[in-house]
Chains A and B, each alone.
Chain A
Amino acid sequence: MNTSSNAVPDAFQAQSVPINSLPPTHAFYWSLRRELWEFRSIYLAPLIASALFLFGFLISLMHLPSRTRGIAALDPVQQQKAILSPYHMAAGLLMLVTLIVGVFYCLDALYGERRDRSILFWKSLPVSDLTAVLSKASIPFVVLPVIGFSLTVILQLIMLVLSSIVLAASGFAPALLWSNLSFFRSSFLLLYHLVTVHVIWHAPFYAWFLLISAWARRAPFLWAILPPLFVAVLERAAFNTNYFAFFLLHRAYGGAEAIPPPHSMPMDPMTHLTFAHYLTSPGLWLGLLATAAFLAAAVRLRRHQSPV
């Protein structure tokens, strides 16, 4: 650590020249764009997954008329379930893909730049470590959920329109489809689910991965996964209990506080939302506290660490 700056004569201070600076948001904006240049999988992986899913859905459209005939005979609850299932699948697929991309992105975000020594170049520019880490953190916290949400909505809209056309062409009234599916409500519920669970409830995981990425000198994936696993194994062996493992799993499944488990799919009716319960659960606030602590440690580490 350096000595206090008070020890320096005032003459030095006077030398610093006023700078017509760019707004600080500028550095953040370009740092964020930089991440998207480097990690193109952030948008390519969800795009490819959507395209593949749509392709599969197109093939399944051939059987849609015959399937609809079968569905029409079911009772209303079963009927709704059967009709909504491909739409849930599209949403679930994009959640899974953005989750995987987010985890691997975070593990590499602060490790890769040290491994290829480019951190020395990034640090030779007037961008603070805080800005750099926050721009990286905003990938799993903002960019991926926005991409996931938008693609899901677009995908579901295309599916809905195609299904309606196919049904109409084969002499069915699309009403069966539309009466069971309220598009705006389901989109709102999806957004609610993404924000409360995938962003806020899972935030400590992403922050932990970023922290390990800033700290590890090699194999950040192993450092992120194995120590928690060892703790769980040790607890099991020593006390024959599973508190730590349950704690992590509960966090990973998460969102029970936001949407009760039996109705955890994002298309469930809004009456099941328990937002007040969610806001008052200590787990939410402890998780956010842990997130802040992990990110602060990551900023500090980025300042101190040299290339590996």
Chain B
Amino acid sequence: MSVIEARALRKSYGNTLALDGLNLQLDEGRILGLIGPNGAGKTTALHAVLGLTPYQGQLRVLGCDPWTQRDHLMRDVSFIADVALLPRWIRVSQLLDFVAGVHPRFERSKAESFLSKTSITLDRKVRQLSKGMVTQLHLAIVMAIDARLLVLDEPTLGLDILFRKQFYDSLLNDYFDRSRTIIITTHQVEEVQDVLTDVMFIDRGRIVFSCSMDDFESRYSELLTNPDNVPAARALKPIHERHALGRVLFLFDGVDRAQLAALGDVRTPGLADLFVAIIGSRSDRAAQAQGAPQ
């Protein structure tokens, strides 16, 4: 069953196309990583899903049109963006009071028990909390909401690695179950690689790559080899090639690992490497296309 179904989603700001006919389908129980370069349309896409921005095209989130039914939809959807979202003047206790007052699916005791494991006390104001604590507080609220879709837009931006690790651990261990769905955008691709069940790359307002993590691991392989083996490796049609410290790294799509093992060390590539291979080559082509008439 689809949690999000987007067809030919378009959105422009002046002359800039933020979403250029984006198609996306996300099923229940998945954790999707939406990864793209700056200005690729990630945040615009998420804002469309959250009913924060109008759009052209078709979009259904949990059966609702987010733009016209935002307040209704928000009973089933939670959202964390980077840390600056919570109002700085509010007290932790007031925040819990407010959410409990307006949200039919908020269980206050859950949020309080999560907070009791942190150093956040109820009488503090948000402005007195560190960046990491504000994220913990927001996470505590979101985890106490029995939502069906959780949207995380750069949730760990500016946090140190301990907070980031803790954030994803809490999310997986205490929150996620197979009936919930999560979308994450982040620049720290390596950190979410183990968390995701699906990954999509977005570039210039379109989804340019979409794959489940199971498929990703069986399809893609990385070969580290000596310069002598380069012609043999190139014959197998790598999708990306990179020179590093006197050795050469190749990225292959759908090539038998046994065949590659004869040429050097083979392993599963990082998402970041695949991202560079796919988005990088797109950018190169775009640059060539722009340069061509000259």
In the bound complex, CA of A117 to CA of B85 (Å) = 6
Q: B104 interface residue, CB < 8 Å from A? A: yes
**Minimum distance in angstroms from B16 CB to a CB of chain A:** 14
The reply to whether A113 and B87 form a contact with Cβ atoms under 8 Å apart is yes
Which of A2, A26, A303, A306 is the most central at the interface, judged by chain B CB atoms within 10 Å of its CB? Answer: A2
A45 CB-CB contact with B under 8 Å: no
Please tell me if A31 contacts chain B, counting CB pairs below 8 Å. yes
Total count of chain A residues near the partner, CB < 8 A: 42
Query: Any chain B CB within 8 A of the CB of A280?
Result: no
Q: Is B5 an interface residue (CB 8 A)?
A: yes
A128 to B75, CA, bound (A): 11
Minimum distance in angstroms from A12 CB to a CB of chain B? 5
Complex alpha-carbon distance, A13 and B1, angstroms: 12
**Of the candidates A7, A14, A21, which one forms a contact with B75 in the assembled complex, judged by CB atoms under 8 Å apart?**
A21
- Contact residues, B241-293 vs A (CB, 8 A): none
A131–B58 alpha-carbon span in the complex (Å): 27
- Are B98 and A2 in touch, CB under 8 angstroms? no
Query: Chain A's nearest CB lies how many Å from the CB of B57?
Result: 7
Q: Is B128 an interface residue (CB 8 A)?
A: no
Q: Is the CB of B53 within 8 A of A118?
A: no
- Residues of A near B103 (CB, < 8 A) are 125-126
What number of B residues sit within 8 Å (CB to CB) of A?
A: 50
- CB of B60 within 8 Å of the partner chain: yes
Please determine whether A3 and B79 come into contact, CB atoms closer than 8 angstroms: no
Please indicate the chain A residues that have their CB under 8 angstroms from the CB of B79 in the complex. Answer: 120, 124
Q: Mark A1-18, 1 if CB is under 8 A from B, else 0.
A: 111010110001111110
- Say whether, besides A26-B101, A117-B85, A2 and B56 are in contact (CB < 8 Å): yes
| Contact partners of B67 in chain A: CB under 8 A | 1-2
Given A27-B102, A125-B99: A3 touches B86 (CB 8 Å cut-off):
no
Please judge, given known A-B contacts A26-B102, A120-B81, whether A15 and B54 are in contact too, CB under 8 Å: no
Interface string of B1-14 (1 = CB under 8 A from A): 11001000000000
Choose among A1, A8, A128 the residue that contacts B71 (Cβ–Cβ < 8 A): A128
Q: Are A3 and B56 in contact (CB under 8 A)?
A: yes
Q: Are B60 and A8 in contact (CB under 8 A)?
A: yes
Give A28 Cβ to nearest chain B Cβ, in Å. 9
The reply to whether the CB of A19 lies closer than 8 angstroms to some CB of chain B is yes
Residue A37 lies at the interface, judged by CB distance under 8 Å to chain B = yes
CB distance from B142 to the nearest CB of A (A): 9
Give 1 or 0 for each of B49-76: 1 = CB within 8 Å of chain A CB. Answer: 0111111111110111101101111111
A residues whose Cβ falls under 8 Å from a Cβ of B: 1-3, 5, 7-8, 12-17, 19-22, 26-27, 29-31, 33-34, 37-38, 113, 116-118, 120-121, 123-129, 131, 303-304, 306
A-B contact pairs, 12 of them (CB 8 A): A2-B54, A12-B60, A16-B64, A38-B89, A118-B85, A120-B79, A121-B87, A124-B79, A125-B74, A125-B103, A129-B70, A131-B71
Closest 8 CB pairs of A and B: A30-B101, A15-B63, A118-B87, A128-B71, A124-B79, A16-B63, A126-B74, A121-B85
16 extra interface residue pairs, beta carbon distance < 8 Å, beyond A27-B102, A38-B89, A120-B79: A2-B58, A2-B59, A2-B68, A12-B60, A21-B75, A21-B104, A27-B101, A33-B101, A37-B89, A116-B88, A123-B74, A124-B74, A124-B77, A125-B103, A126-B102, A127-B102
